[in-house]
Amino acid sequence: MKFAHSQNLFQEASLHLVGGVDSPVRAFKGVGGTPLFIKRAKGASLWDVDGNRYIDYVGSWGPMIWGHAPLFVLNAIRRAIRSGTSFGAPSEAETQLAQWVKRCVPSIEKIRFVNSGTEATMGAIRAARGYTKRDKIIKFDGCYHGHADHLLVKAGSGAQTLGTPDSAGVPSALAQETLVATYNDLGSVAALFQKFPGQIAAVIVEPVVGNMGVILPQANFLPGLRDLCTHEQSVLIFDEVMTGFRLALGGAQELYGVKPDMTCLGKIIGGGLPVGAYGGAQDIMSVVAPEGPVYQAGTLSGNPVAMAAGSATLKELIKSPPYAQLNEASSELMRGLRDIAAQVSIPVQVNQVGSMWTLFFADRPITNAGEARRSDTKRFAQFFHLMIEAGVYLPPSQFEAAFVSAVHTTHEFEKTLQRAEAALQKLREAA
């Protein structure tokens, strides 16, 4: 494969955009080499500017559950855009998307749309702090909730990839209000509640971690968080920006049967356009302006075009839920990857929930961030580039989730496994 045009474009981009990108993880720092510039995407495929075609398992980091550019979303955008692009005033489209979300996520009684997952978690935490009149929050080592100052503490995803889980530029006075526990370790959470009684506004968690690679909640973990927050009168916030509408219509809270007090959403609910949302129990959400004293605003929040894309996406998920098929197809792919790695005696851990998965180059189970950090990121980088050369586009970091869409076919899975086998064999030979 040739990548000359991507290389030229990256050189030019780097003169104008910080690091040549608009989001750090895209810069391939976690795997080395030059990022690919994508020309177009359709279904399960991407084409880069050099004309190379890839089976895409990034799906724009989660939104593309129906694959790229599904006609029903493009048509919804076309219809909406004829009436204008933004009004900065209420539109029926916002109420429609709110109704679709509430129909699928019953724990959400009131919702606020914003423009990103970061804004969603920022809003949720400010509401929780306003509601409880407490300042401290608990997050989990390795979880990523966007780039708000108080959440860039032991953060996963791009922050972990770049080795900056505790970002520069975050005042220590602020970071001190963020307490860090260990995912899947209820004792670490109870200890913080014991140490700071009556001071913790909220616990925010990725119910299934996607931002250290995929890490599954152990049996008692989410119910245990629910009990602790109820007992301590702290707000339990599920950050379902990635898992919302990905794992089930009702997200991880439906899959695991645990009801949070607040939920953050993003990615899929925008159908590929910028939409985030936070919502929850009426009495908590009533603290948010203009009903209450917690301020949060946004010029393009509830944008009618983005709302139309989100509604078209959710309507199709409600009409034809793809989850059983996604689970079966993804499990099949995971079985294939495990078998191939075993055949070539390369130790891997394959973590998967539904259509979210990660192949860790590690010889022991990965159940928290510390264990994920022990993965062989060098070997992951080698595998990543071998798969790129073979036309398979994986997330450019060991600490990210890969995604299967509802339009990936058996043919693509077969090609993926053939190419993974060749790549893993090369790694074995090079060992």
User: Are residues 56 and 393 in contact, defined by beta-carbon separation less than 8 angstroms?
Assistant: yes
Q: Which of 183, 267, 323, 393 is catalytic?
A: 267
Out of 9, 13, 25, 153, the only residue in the binding site for ligand KE4 (CB under 6 A) is 25
Site pattern 199..228 for ligand KE4 (x: CB under 6 A):
-------x---xx-----------------
Kindly state whether residue 116 participates in binding ligand KE4, applying the rule CB under 6 A.
yes
Residue 395 DSSP symbol: -
Kindly state whether residue 158 participates in binding ligand KE4, applying the rule CB under 6 A.
yes
Indicate the residue among 80 and 237 with the shorter CB distance to ligand KE4. 237
What residue number has its CB nearest to ligand KE4? 117
- Determine phi and psi for 43, rounding to 5 degrees: 60, -130
How far does the chain reach from its first CA to its final CA, in angstroms?
Answer: 24
Out of 145, 154, 373, 379, the only residue in the binding site for ligand KE4 (CB under 6 A) is 145
**What is the nearest approach in angstroms of ligand KE4 to the Cβ of residue 342?**
28
**What is the nearest approach in angstroms of ligand KE4 to the Cβ of residue 413?**
23
Q: Please report, to the nearest 10 degrees, the dihedral formed by the alpha carbons of residues 128, 221, 357, 123 taken in order.
A: 0
d(CA 107, CA 109): 6
d(CA 308, CA 87): 14
Residue 294 DSSP symbol: B
**What is the nearest approach in angstroms of ligand KE4 to the Cβ of residue 117?**
2
Indicate the residue among 193 and 384 with the shorter CB distance to ligand KE4. 384
Tell how far CA 218 is from the center of its chain. 19
B/e letters for 96-122, b = 16+ CB within 10 Å, e = fewer, are bbbebbeebbebbebbbbbbbbbbbbb
How many helices and strands, by DSSP H and E, does the chain display? 15, 14
Indicate the residue among 263 and 336 with the shorter CB distance to ligand KE4. 263
Out of 6, 91, 121, 160, the only residue in the binding site for ligand KE4 (CB under 6 A) is 121
Kindly state whether residue 117 participates in binding ligand KE4, applying the rule CB under 6 A.
yes
**Three-point CA angle 403, 360, 57, nearest 5°:** 20
d(CA 396, CA 156): 14
Q: Which of 48, 56, 141, 239 is catalytic?
A: 239
Residue 164 DSSP symbol: -
Comparing CA positions, the residue from 355, 98, 334 lying closest to residue 248 is 355
Out of 152, 241, 340, 381, the only residue in the binding site for ligand KE4 (CB under 6 A) is 241
Out of 45, 52, 91, 157, the only residue in the binding site for ligand KE4 (CB under 6 A) is 157
Kindly state whether residue 400 participates in binding ligand KE4, applying the rule CB under 6 A.
yes
45-84 residues in contact with ligand KE4 (CB under 6 A) are 61
**What is the nearest approach in angstroms of ligand KE4 to the Cβ of residue 61?**
4
Catalytic, 415? Answer no
Kindly state whether residue 161 participates in binding ligand KE4, applying the rule CB under 6 A.
no
Catalytic, 295? Answer no
Catalytic, 183? Answer no
Which tokens belong to 204? Answer: 């925010």
Q: Where are the beta strands (DSSP E) in 266-416?
A: 276-280, 349-353, 356-360, 392-393, 402-403
d(CA 300, CA 87): 8
**Number of residues located near ligand KE4, criterion CB under 6 A:** 21
Distances (CA, A) of 308 to 114, 315, 323, 405: 14, 10, 22, 20
Q: Which of 54, 57, 131, 144 is catalytic?
A: 144
- Window contacting ligand KE4 (CB under 6 A); options: 116-124, 167-175, 250-258, 361-369: 116-124
Amino acid at 100: W
Amino acid at 187: G
- Determine phi and psi for 415, rounding to 5 degrees: -65, -40
- Window contacting ligand KE4 (CB under 6 A); options: 110-118, 125-133, 345-353, 375-383: 110-118
Out of 37, 54, 66, 144, the only residue in the binding site for ligand KE4 (CB under 6 A) is 144
Indicate the residue among 121 and 382 with the shorter CB distance to ligand KE4. 121
Kindly state whether residue 23 participates in binding ligand KE4, applying the rule CB under 6 A.
yes
**What is the nearest approach in angstroms of ligand KE4 to the Cβ of residue 381?**
18
Query: What positions carry a catalytic annotation?
Result: 144, 239, 267
Site residues, ligand KE4 (CB under 6 A): 23, 25, 61, 116-118, 121, 144-146, 157-158, 206, 210-211, 239, 241-242, 266, 276, 400
